Amino acid sequence: MTRKERAALIDRRLAGLYPDPPIPLDHRDPYTLLIAVLLSAQCTDKRVNQVTPALFALADSPEEMMKQPVARIQEIIRPCGLSPRKAKAISELSALLVRNHGGMVPADMDQLETLPGVGHKTASVVMSQAFGVPAFPVDTHIHRLAQRWGLTNGKNVKQTEADLKKLFPREYWNKLHIRIILYGREHCTARGCDGTRCGLCRDCFPRRRSPVVTNKA
């Protein structure tokens, strides 16, 4: 089976499993999504969804958030980890949104990446999930599964993203990246599958017997 044939198989199978995949992070608008994605760095979406109600009850707009003491933001988001850095970024990016963008989250990848605490992956998630612009955010789940499925050599996240964008039609990207995340959590987990156990791994490489050692993101 060629790489393109595996990609087509994976796309069909995941579309059948998750025809209308939900956005994993609870949010109300582009701003609350941006904050939730920022908090999700080195933290589970489940934990973020437990924390954000209290944070957004305190402030759910850049105008309100910039008025809050960083210490207060940090206190609320502490369960998400890296709270000093994240709290500072939330405060600073909120002020920048008010000062430079009229309090609105820009629908522009380059402008998003200039905001404190917002890297390429975070910007990609916001572009795809808040604005519907095709993007392929690559997190640890996607990076690991793309290697197990032989869709990339896995040298780094940037290369994995480029490889996946070449394999799948642009109009599939936004739903597909969520589908891969969901499948990785439910079936092809870091410890539950080694590239030989889950259905897709077996179908992509039916003769594979040795575990796949994947490069970290």
- Closest listed residue to residue 49, CA positions, set 81, 78, 29, 26: 26
Q: Is 121 a catalytic residue?
A: yes
Distance from CA of residue 9 to its chain's centroid?
Answer: 23
* Separation between Cα atoms, residue 72 and residue 135, nearest integer Å: 33
**Catalytic residue (choose from 139, 166, 175, 194):** 139
- Name the token pair of 70: 């960083």
Of 46, 121, 165, 203, the catalytic one is 121
- Angle among Cα 138, 142, 145 to the nearest 5 degrees reads 155
Specify whether the CB–CB gap between 93 and 116 falls below 8 A: yes
Distance CA 113, CA 120 (A): 6
Specify whether 166 is catalytic: no
In the chain the first and final C-alpha atoms are separated, in Å, by: 26
For residue 31, count CB atoms less than 10 angstroms from its CB and return exposed for 0-12, middle for 13-18, buried for 19 or more: buried
Question: 95 CB contacts (<8 Å, ≥6 apart)?
Answer: 62, 66
Task: Please identify every residue annotated as catalytic.
Answer: 121, 139
